Amino acid sequence: QVQFVESGGGKVQPGGSLRLSCAASGSIFNIVTMGWYRQAPGKQRELVASITWHRNTNYVDSVQGRFTISRDNAKNTVYLQMDTLKPEDTAVYYCNKAPQPSDSWGQGTQVTVSS
């Protein structure tokens, strides 16, 4: 079963930037749509960005224009560039298949936006 390892989170001030990385294992990576999800305290996990094998992208309205998802198929890695971060972006970020995720979730990476 494919596994995901997320990294790159941290604490930044509002307006700052972070770049998240997701390393995936298994050949399924090259034939699926990948996504970045986030879960804030007390809220349900939500899909915020997705990218197809052909690099077509979609974003939830709240991050449109600020986040950029990309993928490197040769490295089995997906990235999320996050700019102009806001306190409401604070959450644990995960990667997985999209729009229907697998049951195999990584441990995620914490993003905290605070002054």
Strand partners, 38: 46, 93
The residue-averaged pLDDT of 61-89 equals 95
What digits encode the pLDDT tens for the residues 14-63? 999 999 999 988 655 666 799 999 999 999 999 999 999 889 999 999 99
Mean pLDDT of the chain: 93
Q: Which residues contact 38 (CB under 8 A, 6 or more apart)?
A: 45, 46, 48, 89, 91, 92, 93, 94, 111
**What does the alpha-carbon distance between residue 94 and residue 90 come to, in Å, rounded to a whole number?**
13
pLDDT for 76 equals 86
**What does the alpha-carbon distance between residue 24 and residue 14 come to, in Å, rounded to a whole number?**
30
pLDDT band at 92 (very low <50, low <70, confident <90, very high): very high
